[in-house]
Structure 1
């Protein structure tokens, strides 16, 4: 099995201003064990994943995604998946457009990464999903380095294992615009 360093987990820890030692103490494990989790050498139990997620502010399901066959199927698709917290800051970003680094996105909002009407519209959608606690879907156009790109975005409220609202999740698919030749009669 390939071991992939969980750079997103280290970024979440740093965004919270915590050292590996502090995280380990707060979740009642040895620092070396936590280090192995962050370095992708060990997988946490479900309970430990929940404790780490609660402490660092993300949804524990991210650990399960690493083992999912969908991870490999989606990795090079036009689908972008993400989690965000109640402040609309990314806690996890999977398969983004090449303009965005998924690790550097952690702890940042859409408008901090890209200023434009698409980012503002996405943030507004996220706010509504959190306040209404209901799923929403809409088409949003973003201006990217390779031109304008339309995405079909679905946003859903995200609850932790105890049922507490912690933010939301998004699934977006880049739409293919097809130009059909005019048929002359």
Structure 2
């Protein structure tokens, strides 16, 4: 990446196709349909964040939602960071942006699932949870044998919180 100028913002429906292409560039992320990505950028925009470079190219994205029976929780579905931007803490910046945006609405917990051995995701979330002083519980949410017929690794649920936002001047 030529410049480090990155803008974080709420996604808009017109980001859907660009999100689809970003996820394609971020193997081994599971791809979704373009239609699903359009919904993530429109109906779920309040619980998502888009990162774009100075040329307006989508270089990062976090999709999430608030489970209907747990409105105090943000479930992070997918984190995508373009390979040119890795190592610059963009994933952390996007997660903090979402936490700050949703905390005034009562969100105090963050959940995600991570397959065992996904060191990048484990590291990202461990750093964010530590910075938010959020205790973490782990459990298998979807098991390889019970839910994936042995064709996909376990999905381990990480539930962190309640979290504490650090005041901007701290």
Is the structural similarity TM-score above 0.5?
no
What TM-score results when the alignment is normalised by the length of structure 1? 0.30
